[in-house]
Amino acid sequence: MDETGSPHDPHWPRAGHWLRTADVSHSGGALALLGVPAHEASLSASGAHLTPAAVREALLRYSLYAASSDTDLTSVEVTDLGDVSDPDGPGGEDRIARAAADAAARFTCILGIGGDNSVTYPLMLGVSGGDLSGWGLVTLDAHHDVRDGRSNGSPVRLLVEAGLPGEHIVQVGIADFCNSPFYAARARSLGITTVPRSALRTHTAQQVVTDALEIAGRGGRPVYVDLDVDVCDRAYAPGCPASAPGGISADELRHLARLLACDSRVRAIDITEVDAVADSEDGRTVRLAALLVLEAAAGLATR
């Protein structure tokens, strides 16, 4: 029996072992996974610091084979860089940024596993080398994240203040009754393009991704992608404190994540706002986060 209680089968390799056998001393490669267990900046009490470890464990439940595209992820070189230590607070932001900068210098794509959404700011700052002026951002999120202060509700505002051009930011999945008029107006004033959740009912995932990357990556600029899992319907993501009924489905989020990862302009992706402590008994939110890791890797494999 293996760690999941299932019979061991040498012909059914598990995704968790794909990470565990990674050589963390490797000088570089295709994909690096970096855990960022921050939670103290969350606007609501959160156990998101336990999520990176929970996602790694959940990967043991899945294989490395994507049947729909006949993709075997054993061909994707992945390195698990472990977790950033003490990632909360100003000192923590610096440590996250340094770890992200080091990873970006060595790997084709960085996959950050949060933690709350506050990690998006230092991760993107680090991946960009501190110069955000030539980058673009795509968020899949129910919220604008342009609040005052310094929290999981403010990373997009902080990035703009640090030099990210608002006209190269696209926010997909913005939900009704999850934002205020004041912050919606702020997002517009910053030049941010908003794709509301309602638009996803009439546009294909491919259309949405193509349009978002055209704006965020115009001119060939590199793009950072923030996957805030609270963009999902609460039925699929009960472990996200701010998820609401009526969000997108788990399948939609997985599909969008893979399509985004297919594009060579995407240099980094984060998965945030999953609270492993608040998840349902069946662990569906953490399992979804683990599948997003695999979808990102499957997209990368097609480049």
For 128-158, write each residue's pLDDT tens digit.
999 999 999 999 999 999 999 999 999 999 9
Whether this model's pTM surpasses 0.75:
yes
Q: DSSP characters for 55-121? A: HHHHGGGSBSEEGGGTEEGGGS-EEEEEE-SS-SHHHHHHHHHHHHHHHHTTEEEEEEEESSGGGHH
| The predicted structure's pLDDT at residue 26 | 61
| The predicted structure's pLDDT at residue 28 | 79
Share of the chain above pLDDT 70, in %: 96
Confidence of residue 57 (pLDDT cuts 50, 70, 90): very high
Cα 123 to Cα 118: distance, rounded to the nearest angstrom: 9
